[in-house]
Structures are given as C-alpha cells and as structure tokens.
Amino acid sequence: MRNVLPYSGQIVAAGLSPAWQSIMEFESLLIGEVNRAAQTWQCASGKVLNVAVAAEHLGSPVRAVTVLGGPPADATAREMAMLGIELIAVPTHGETRTCTTLLERGTGQTTELVENAAAIEPDELAAFVTAFRDAVTDASVVVLSGSLPAGTPVTFYRELLELSSCPVVLDARGPELLEALPLRPLLVKPNREELAKTLGRRLDNETAVFSAMHELHDRGAEWVLITDGSRPALVLGPEGCGRIQPLPVDRVVNPIGCGDCLAAGFAAGLARGLPPSDAMRLGVAAASENCRTLLAGRLEPQAVAQLAQQVVLEPV
C-alpha cells in the first residue's frame, strides 16, 4: 500500500475535456522522416483526470465528473477503478479525444500533439450538470478545469460555480473565466500566456502581470496564481502580492500535467484544512514532483510533502 499524506475531505474534479494519452519515447525525432518509438505508454489524461489522479495519489478521496465516449471510455473507467477514483462519466456520442506526447531522449524536449475535445450535445451537457449537482453535495473542494468544447456556453463554469457551496479552484481561460469571476472562485490559475489572451493585451513585464492579476481579483477571484513555466510564479491574495521561486528539478522526465498537479495539490491542502497560502506551497511542490514522473499525476506523496517544506512565498 502506498504511503499517503493525512486524510482529507472529498475533492470533486470536474471538466469536459478528458483525453486518452499516448506517450512515445524516441532517441531523436526527425521531422519528415519515419520515427520508431523506443517505448510507448498509454493512460487516462486531460486536465480533469490529471487533477483527479494527482489528488488521489496525495491521499484525498476523489470524485471525477466528466464526459466519455467511444473506445477510450471503457479504458478510462478501468484505470480510474484501479486507482480507486470514483468516476461519474456522462456518455457522449462524440469519441473522447486522443492526445500524443513525444519525448526525445537526446534533447530532453517534449512535443505535445493535442486533439480538440468533441462538441457535446445539449442533452449531454444537461446530464453533466445534473451529475455535477449530485456529486458536489458533500464536497470539501471543487476543481473545475479544462477548455470548453466547441458550442459550450461561455457561462458554463459560472453555472457550475452557482451549484457549488464549497471553495472552488478554477483553471480556465478566456471568456469562460471572465464570466465565472463574479461567483468568487477561491483560486484562479491561468498561466501568463493564457492571462494575456484572456484580457487581450501584452504582459511584457512583472508589473503588467500584477496589474492584470489585480483585474481578476477586482472582478471576483479571491486568490490569483500565475505560472510561467520555469520562471517564478506570481501570487495575489488577501494578504497582498507574492512570488514563488521554482524548485530545482534534477531531471525533467515529462512536464505535461504540472499545472493540473498544482491545482490538485492546492485542493488537497484545502481539504486538509490548510490556509490557502500553505495549500499553494503543497500545489507548487506537487507540480515540481510531477516533472519527475512519466505519467501525469502519478505522484509520490512523501516526496511532495518534503518538497513543500522548501517552497517559499516571498512578499512583493
């Protein structure tokens, strides 16, 4: 049995863009040539499922609410059952997308080939909302994440926030993020590029980023966390502004899913009763640990706990 961190309350991870992930490792990649993979792996993925898997590995009871269709649906259900994650999956006519990660040993580069999620029929969307309403009745924390499939109303996350009576982490961008802010999510966490596109302006320096973060805060977000790859993460909350320096990673195996693990770690911390600033440290530690794992979210909880002790939130 895996060692886990202390028990926490129920976390609900919800989203409309799951994926079946294929990971292929190559000695080197040559564009325009035949490339034969040295090794391949497959697993359930997409932001909603990455959050669920990471939270489960951190010791939290997790309920994942999503939509699934086609052959990936059965494979995903089997994997979630194996991991002990309660899966509530609304069947869809559209097939769940397959995304492919290409890992190149020689350079350490990662290339991601991403399918867009299939459009969801109105009756399927209504069934998802009903399933979500039932799923969050006993939730301690809700994590809403992922892009919205084509045709989904931009007010969708706002509707889910209206149904949630517990703290909500919102990992979204664009109009759907802005529409949800008046419902006061506890944390929003677009990355720097997503923040710039959401507000429609360039963010060329830290001052500009903090100004944009204040705009999200003024519109309703209690905490705003902006990540920027290997650069420092910026934080805005009731206590003011801060900066989190990235933790050193000796070897990056696969960076895919680090943002999802950050959201999961933050949610796990909240569910254990940690204040948001400490929960954020746990989230940053989970993101760092994820860099060392091949499959997104498959974290070692004790390593995350040790890394969290090294995370420093510096006032700005």
pLDDT in tens, 72-122: 999 999 999 999 999 999 999 999 999 999 999 989 899 999 999 999 999
Domain ranges of the chain: 11-29+36-315
User: Under a CB-based contact definition with an 8 Å cutoff, are residues 59 and 4 in contact?
Assistant: yes
Q: Alpha carbon of 32 to those of 29, 35, 38, 102, 103: distances in Å?
A: 9, 9, 18, 15, 17
Q: Which amino acid is at 172?
A: A
Q: Alpha carbon of 231 to those of 5, 109, 131, 169, 236: distances in Å?
A: 28, 17, 38, 22, 16
User: Under a CB-based contact definition with an 8 Å cutoff, are residues 143 and 14 in contact?
Assistant: yes
Task: Compute the distance between CA of residue 93 and CA of residue 208 in angstroms, rounded to an integer.
Answer: 43
Backbone phi, psi, residue 263, to 5°: -60, -40
CATH architecture of the domain formed by 11-29+36-315: 3-Layer(aba) Sandwich (3.40)
pLDDT of residue 9: 87
Backbone phi, psi, residue 79, to 5°: -70, -40
For the record, the structure tokens of 173 come out as 């961008």
Q: In what order do the strands lie in the sheet with 39-45?
A: 39-45, 19-26, 98-104, 110-113
pLDDT of residue 241: 96
pLDDT of residue 1: 26
Q: Structure pTM?
A: 0.95
Task: Compute the distance between CA of residue 294 and CA of residue 73 in angstroms, rounded to an integer.
Answer: 22
Q: Vertex 147, ends 142 and 152: CA angle to 5°?
A: 95
| Neighbour-count burial for 9-42, b at 16+ CB within 10 Å, e otherwise | bbbbbbbbbbbbbbbbbbeebeeeeeeeeeeeeb
pLDDT of residue 8: 61
| Neighbour-count burial for 136-160, b at 16+ CB within 10 Å, e otherwise | beebbbbbbbbbbbeebeeebbbbb
DSSP letters of 170-225? EE--HHHHHHHGGG--SEE--BHHHHHHHHTS---SHHHHHHHHHHHHHHT-SEEE
- The SS3 assignment for 45 reads strand
Write out the chain's pLDDT in tens, 316 residues: 223 344 468 999 999 999 999 999 999 999 999 999 999 999 999 999 999 999 999 999 999 999 999 999 999 999 999 999 999 999 999 999 999 999 999 898 999 999 999 999 999 999 999 999 999 999 999 999 999 999 999 999 999 999 999 999 999 999 999 999 999 999 999 999 999 999 999 999 999 999 999 999 999 999 999 999 889 999 999 989 999 998 988 888 999 999 999 999 999 999 999 999 999 999 999 999 999 999 999 999 999 999 999 999 999 9
pLDDT of residue 6: 46
